[in-house]
Structure 1
């Protein structure tokens, strides 16, 4: 069987790195992915996909990305369920990310205070 998903989209908020009880880096993020067609009103619709990133990929995503960053992810789809406070069964579908690619361009020779490259600003 094949379970593989590839997505390209923008982060909906700044990534916040957390750690499991055993010290494993973990990042939860939502990726805004535009659909490849327009609706009857001529507008592009967007899906908001919940993703989980682990280990070094989580650390690097947290370090180099921010709200609006364009990234590509490769992973697998997982579903899980749980009961809410009212006893209702809730189902969640998410992407367990294996690979993250940063797709925003960088300004050559531009460095921040910490020595990291800054993204290019798209000015009118």
Structure 2
């Protein structure tokens, strides 16, 4: 029997700062509020915008990175799956829709006017958990261009 596909791709802006919590085992669970906006024209030719809000949950290392570097207003790419749930409160059944993010890419600038800086406060992190490493190289270094390597080898060095 063929398996189904449950895949969601979102590109939007954060509506607030990420909320990071940790399980007793030390795994990060980060919740984001992500806005996606679509534009269409109505019958009169006027542009109509519609904004959809998505609750996104990121787990583990991806959740830690999101909690460190994402801020309200920042544009982000999320790839994951949709998950429905329900719970009962005061005798009333409530339904939830979450996006379980499996991949996250930070896009654009740092949101409201600048580059996002790592958070320094970690009030929800258990004291037994070591702090995240801050000495790793940054990933946003400029990409090398083909012209940077043009003089590094001669045509005789090509094996074909």
> Normalised by the size of structure 1, how large is the TM-score?
0.79
- Displacement of 1:43: 2.7
Segments of 5+ residues of structure 1 without an aligned counterpart are 118-124
Residue aligning to 2:97: 93
Higher strand share: 1
Separation of aligned partners in 1, 2:41 and 2:105:
26
Pairing 1:47-58 to 2, within 5 Å after superposition? 47-58=52-63
Separation in 2 of the partners of 1:19 and 1:39?
46
Gap regions ≥5 residues in structure 2:
119-133, 139-160
Q: Which residue of 1 aligns with 2:49?
A: 44
Number of residue pairs matched by the alignment: 113
Residues 36-115 of structure 1: pairs in structure 2 closer than 5 A: 36-38=39-41, 42-84=47-89, 86-105=90-109
Q: Aligned Cα RMSD in Å? A: 2.7
Q: Secondary structure at the match of 1:3?
A: coil
- In 1, the alpha carbon distance for the partners of 2:105 and 2:17 equals 16
Match of 1:17?
20
Q: Structure with the greater relative contact order (CA < 8 A, sep ≥ 6): 1 or 2?
A: 1
Cα distance, 1:38 vs structure 2: 4.5
1:6 to 2:9 alignment: yes
CA drift of 1:36 comes to: 4.6
Select the structure of larger CA radius of gyration.
Answer: 2
**Of 32, 35, 38, the match for 2:38:** 35
SS at match of 1:43: strand
Question: TM-score, normalization: structure 2?
Answer: 0.63
Q: Deviation per CA, 1:42-73, whole angstroms, max 9, x where unpaired?
A: 23110000110011111111111100000000
**Alpha-carbon distance in 1 for matches of 2:32, 2:41:** 25
